[in-house]
Every structure is written in C-alpha cells, then in structure tokens.
Structure 1
Amino acid sequence: MTEDSTTPRVANRRLFLRGALSAGVAGVATGAAAGAGIAAALDGSARPAAAAVDDAVPFHGAHQAGIATPSQRNVAVVSFDVLAADRGELTDLMRALTDRARFLTSGGTPPDPGISAPPTDSGILGPSLPSDRLSVTVGVGASLFDDRYGLASRKPAGLTSMQTFPNDHLDPAQCHGDVSLQLCAENPDTVLHALRDIARHTRGAMQIRWQIDGFKSPPRPSGTPRNLMGFKDGTSNLHGDDTKTMDQLVWTGGEAGWAAGGSYQVIRKIRMLVEFWDRVSISEQENMFGRRRDSGAPLDGNDEHDTPNFAVDPVGTAIPLTSHIRRANPRTPDTQDSRILRRPYNYNLGIDSVGNVDCGLVFICYQRDVAKQFEAVQKRLADEPLVDYIQPVGGGYFLVLPGVRDTNDHFARALLA
C-alpha cells in the first residue's frame, strides 16, 4: 500500500482517538464530581449524582482493581487486536482506555452533545451512570511486543503466548490477543455498557478478537460459590487482603521496571461436558475432586475449610492420589510457591450445533510467575480423571499493567515512555 493511501487513514485514526480522549477528560470530571457527591453540570445545568456511587471501586492506586478486589457477580473477559499504526497511536489508545475506565468506574452523568449530535452514551443504564462496583482491568499480551511499536526489547521474559497443554482442545480464534480487558460489576448491563463505551471510544485503534461473559453464582447454601459441576470453586484460594502473600505470589517484581506492581493473568475458557458429568455417581464425582459435593469439605474432613491431611494418607485411602485437590496443591514445601489467586466465573452459551449444553468455567488467575505457578499446577493436573469431562477451548496469557497512580497517569505510561 502506498504512503498516499495510508496517511489519511492514520490521520483519521489519530483524530478519532483525540476525540475519544477529549470525551474521556469530560467524563473524568463528571466521575470525580459524582464521587464527591457533587451535582454534575457539564452542560451548564445541575444534574444529580449517580445512584450507586458509594459502591465505587477505587480506580487509582499502585495496582489495578479487579485482582485483589472481592469478586463482583458478573464479568466480561475480552481480548483485542491492536490496530494502532504506530507508538504514538498506541499511546493515544492507552490514554483513551484510562479516561474511559476512570469515568465508568466512578459513575456520573455523560455530557450532553445537544439535540443535533449523536448521544455520548448508549443510555442502557439511564441518564446517570451508577458505578455498580465496576472494575476495569487492562493487560497486554506477548504479541504487542512484536516489531510494530518498537517494544520488543521491553518485553518481560515471563510474558509468553499461552501454550497448549495435554487434553486441551484450543480453538485459535478464541486464543491470545494484544490487549485483555476484564470488566467486572454487580449487574450484567453495567458490564455490557462499559464494553460498548470502551469499544466506541477506541474504535479504529483496537478490535475485539474474542469475548466470554460469565457470572458468579451465590453461595448455596453458604460458603464458597459453586461451579456448574455442582462443586464449590475456590475454597483454598489466596486472600486479596493478605498483603504479604500478594507481594510474594501475585504482584510482579523487578524483572521489568515498568511492569512492577502488575500481575500475570491467565485466562482459560473451559467447557464442561455436563451431559456426561450428570450421569456419574456422586461418590465418583467426589473422588475426582477430593471433596464432598454438599459441604465442600475434603474427603478426610468435616468442614469446607478443613485442611486435607495428605501426609497421613500417602497411598490415597481417603483422598485419591489422582484427585483434583491433591494434584493441584499437594501441600508440600516445594509446592507452596506455586499457589495462584483464582477469580473464576461460570458461563452458559445455550446449546451447541448438536443440541448439547455449552456451559463451563471462565477460569481467571493471577500470579507473579506463570511458569512457576499456573504452568506448574497445570502440568501436575495432566491426565487427571476430570479431563474426560472438561475441554479447555480458549484463553491466553497477559501481563496486567501496573495501576494508574493519579489523574496525570495512564495505562502503560512507563512502558511507552
């Protein structure tokens, strides 16, 4: 393609991003006003603050929200291919992402463009946006560090493309990507609204590659929520408020100075073959997991949060050696540092082409080192009995960027400097 044909398109994209950035700045002002309980007045008239602003998840900080944040009820995990023509446009994209995330997570009233212009908001949440505990978490994939933007020398050694493991059934169209976006909120329309808003303001700079929506079931009857196999999911999870453990196992360190304070994100879309699973006896299901289905207790315990005692059961009399909990976390000194912070959600896509239910798990986890943590666990799980009833079909590895410190900062600022 000749330079004459590309230059106008590049210019148009830059103009679009500048427009998005300007709209974002207006939104930031509105969100800040709403956050303080002040009436917004973007068009010169007083407007009420957002209804759910007291539930806003703080946006600024050393780490991004959506990792240590207690899980909201709904999620959209979206992967994008970046279309920005050069590093300058990539920087504009990150600024636009930052401004939209800052406004959307605060809540507020979108600016009024006047009766002759298209509306600045989709309107699906009403005239004033609730924060609804929305969090926006942005990551970057290994493919962003190719030769397009001059970032190859800045790629952390730990950031790679997701590998294919034994028993995977990966669809290339549902894998990898340049940028990941995790949107979490209490209500599904808040998540969809945020995605539409961000897609609108970044159009021409990045394009959706794949998306999976999920939901978190309420505890039934109590304790940890259940997955769609009927078992509690995340009983032995790390705690986001445990600062020492988060520093040790979740937040990235100094392997790349610009990435300090981020976290490696693993996303796996795992289909559950529920028609087959529902024909398996309860005792066999429990032996595969290593836990009771009703209470979530380990097979050698009475309560969900009892610690399984593998040391006194070396041959697997109570909890089989092939059980999921025993392979995933053998609870030995050598495997303590392979623990991960899980953030799982369920998904349901209806039925597939042959009439089977297409549902399963949106597996999301965070860690300091993918190879030493997620991949180490995954290798121990190879050929476990559960693989006959689950099919990992998509996902990717991403590095969640450090947090946005204040209103002068933006996503990937240190990376792109």
Structure 2
Amino acid sequence: MTGPGRRSFLRGALAAGVAGAVTTGSAAAAKDPTSPSPKPPPFHGVHQAGILEEPQARSVVAAFDVIAEGKAELTDLLRALTDRARVLTGGGVPAEPGISAPPPDSGILGPDAPAGGLTVTAGVGASLFDDRFGLAAKRPKRLTAMRTFPGDDLDPAWCHGDLVLTLGAADEDTVLHALRDICRHTRGGMQIRWRISGFSNRPRPSGTPRNLMGFKDGIANPDITDAAAMNRLVWAARDEPAWTSGGTYQVIRLIRMLVEFWDRVGLPEQEQMFGRSRDTGAPLDGLHETDEPRYAADPIGKVIPLTSHIRRANPRVPDTEGSRILRRSSNYDRGVDGAGNLDMGLVFGCFQQDPHRQFEAVQERLADEPLTDYISPFGGGYFFVLPGVRDRVDHLGRGMIE
C-alpha cells in the first residue's frame, strides 16, 4: 500500500482510536471478584508505563520496520499507535462498525475487552533517524545500533528495528489481542521485523522470579523509589535533546540458554558460576537474596569466585556504581530447533541513562565469564524509549517529530 491509500488507512486508524471504546472497564471481570483484572498503571504521565513496573506474567517484544513515507505519514503512525495504546490499556466495548464493515476487534477477549493490566512501552531505534524522515538532528545523543560482543551469534533477522513495542499483561490472550489490534491499525505504516513472546515465572517460593537456569534474576536492581538514583541511572540525561526528557534507553538481548548442557552441570559448580545459592538466591557468603555480598572480606574469591556472574556484573565499588542498570527480563520458549534441541532462554531487557556507560560496561566485565559456555545471544537491539504521553492531545514522539 503506497501514497494516499496508506495515508487514508492511517487516518482511519486515528478515527478508530478516538472512538475505540464506548465504555471502559470489564463487566465480565466485575462478575468474578475472585479473579479481578490487575489494575493497569496510568496511561498518561511523564514516563511510559512498563519501565519501573516489574515484568508481567506474559509479554511480547516486537520490533518493526517503519514503512511510512515522509514525516507526515510517520506522524500519523505515531498518533495511531498512541490512540490504540490508550484504548487497549483502558479496556472496554469496541465501537459498533457499519453493517458491511469488518468487526472492530478480533474478539479474542470477548465483547467487553478487559484491560488486563496491559502496558504498552514504545521505543525507537537508531535507524529511524536516517534520511527518510528528516530526524537526524533529533537523534538521541547515545542511540546507536547494538554492537556485537564476543560470544554473540547474532542473526540479522532478529536484530535492530526502527521501532520496538514491549507489551505486558497478566494473560497471554491480552498481549496477543493488543499486538493484533496495533498491527491492524498501523498496517500502512509499519510491519513486524521480529517478535518474541515471553513469560515471567511466579516467585518460588518467594522473592525474585527465576530464569530458566533455575536462578533468581534481577535481585540487585537499583531502588526505583529513589528519585535521585533513577535520575542518575535511568532517565535521559540533561545533555540529551530537549524532547527526550522523560525517556530512557532500552537494551534488548535475546539469549538462548543451552539448557541440556546446563542441566548436566553439578549444582555446586552452577552456584560458583552465578555466585549465589540456587535455592535461596543469597550470595554464597549470605543467607538471604537481599544480602549484600561481602567482597572486601573475600578479596581472592575463596567464597564468591572472582569470575562469578554477580561479582563481574556488579563489583560493588565506587568506580562501577554509575554502570548499574534496571533489569526487566523475561523467559522465552520457542520449542525445539532443527536438531531437536530445546530452544529456550532469556529475553534480557534493561533500562539505563546511557547504554555505553552502563550496559556495555557490564557486558565487557562479563566477557569470558564461565556462563558464556551455556548461553548464545542471537538477537536484540538498542532503543530509546519515548517520553510518556502527557494528556489526550499529546502523542508518542511528538517532540521528536515537531
């Protein structure tokens, strides 16, 4: 679809977004108080939802190539995306179509689509700032294409993208419903480059959820209630273009775990590689997952090896405090590969103020750690998560476009 046809399709999506729900909330959910839908975070705000919140039970990460032509069509696309995200995160009954029109909704959530705690988090890749839309001068200062690290086996079909969406909700059908709806209403402006479904395990027995290696994942995140720490580590720096205020950088890494090999490694060796107890999540010199490892009392790594994941990732010295990241990861399961091996692993995600100062510094410290023998990164990208939508007249990327 090209020219006026695509523009009219996107304008139609905007109209559908404005009238996309005639009532909000879910009558079906209200009838069953034993299983209420989770309350979604507010859609409007300085920051997008899905950054500070813990990963939800079900998720989809989808990267898109923008096929809109020119800045006007890109603006239509971003408005349509904003309107659909606003409607979907609010829930409700879709507007009635004309007699001969297709249904306004896929129907997989029933006639009164619950919000289901849905979050829609949108980011843009470095490739969006090429010469197609005249945005080169607006490129976030630290936004580049993801580099290749030692041990990577990157597949170009699973890397990068002009735009990325991270959808999260309590239920699989909620995120799939949102993905289908967004793709339907933006079909003339963008198309999927790659997508992967994720899930987060329930805490077992408590505390931080586990990854598919059996270890708790994301224990040492910075405190999201500490505004000073978030301004220092997560939100866009003051030297960025003015429009980026309220945004952040997102790194996504698709990491296959070679679980058949991992499952044949003895538990003591596994724990030495991570530096934590598998059962409790505690550092090997502690009792609880929230205990701080005492590296100063163990300078030669007798208890927690110097090569362990936690010691390499976060040495807990003043020089590395500024490289901390906010991890927001989920697990994936893609079945089996052509050789009959299980294809599962981690949709690693993190937010930070500067992916080079933070993520890349951590990644470089992890080079040649023992865990590299059991993982194989194959995709992902660097993205800038757009500032939040302030009100009903605002839209995603407005400052970037204007």
TM-score, structure 2 as length reference: 0.96
1:93-118 CA-partner distances (Å, limit 9, x unpaired): 00000000000001111011144210
Give, in whole Å, the separation in 1 of the partners of 2:38 and 2:82. Answer: 21
1:244 Cα shift? 2.1
1:238 Cα shift? 2.2
User: Is the contact made by 2:7 and 2:188 (CA closer than 8 Å) also made in structure 1?
Assistant: no
Q: Aligned residue for 2:260?
A: 275
Q: Aligned residue for 1:379?
A: 364
Counterparts of 1:14-413 in structure 2, within 5 Å, are 14-27=7-20, 30=22, 33-34=23-24, 51=30, 55-254=39-238, 255-413=240-398
1:70 Cα shift? 2.9
Which segment is superposed worse, 90-99 or 106-115? 106-115
User: Is the contact made by 2:54 and 2:328 (CA closer than 8 Å) also made in structure 1?
Assistant: no
1:260 Cα shift? 1.0
Q: Aligned residue for 2:33?
A: none
Say which SS state the counterpart of residue 19 (structure 2) adopts.
helix
Give, in whole Å, the separation in 1 of the partners of 2:215 and 2:260. Answer: 16
Which segment is superposed worse, 54-63 or 197-206? 54-63
Give, in whole Å, the separation in 1 of the partners of 2:38 and 2:171. Answer: 16
Count of paired positions: 396
Q: Which residue of the other structure, out of 5, 13, 25, is the alignment partner of 1:12?
A: 5
Say which SS state the counterpart of residue 55 (structure 1) adopts.
coil
1:289-343 CA-partner distances (Å, limit 9, x unpaired): 0001111110111111110011111110000000000000000001111110001
Give, in whole Å, the separation in 1 of the partners of 2:24 and 2:108. Answer: 19
Which segment is superposed worse, 108-117 or 395-404? 108-117
Structure 1 unaligned blocks of 5 or more: 1-7, 38-47
Q: 1:54 to 1:286 in 2, by over 3 A?
A: closer
Give, in whole Å, the separation in 1 of the partners of 2:87 and 2:29. Answer: 12
Same amino acid, percent of matched pairs: 65
Say which SS state the counterpart of residue 237 (structure 1) adopts.
coil
1:381 Cα shift? 0.3
TM-score, structure 1 as length reference: 0.93
1:20 Cα shift? 0.4
User: Is the contact made by 1:253 and 1:261 (CA closer than 8 Å) also made in structure 2?
Assistant: no
Give, in whole Å, the separation in 1 of the partners of 2:236 and 2:222. Answer: 16
Structure 2 unaligned blocks of 5 or more: 31-35
1:253 Cα shift? 2.5
1:145-174 CA-partner distances (Å, limit 9, x unpaired): 000000011112200000000111110100
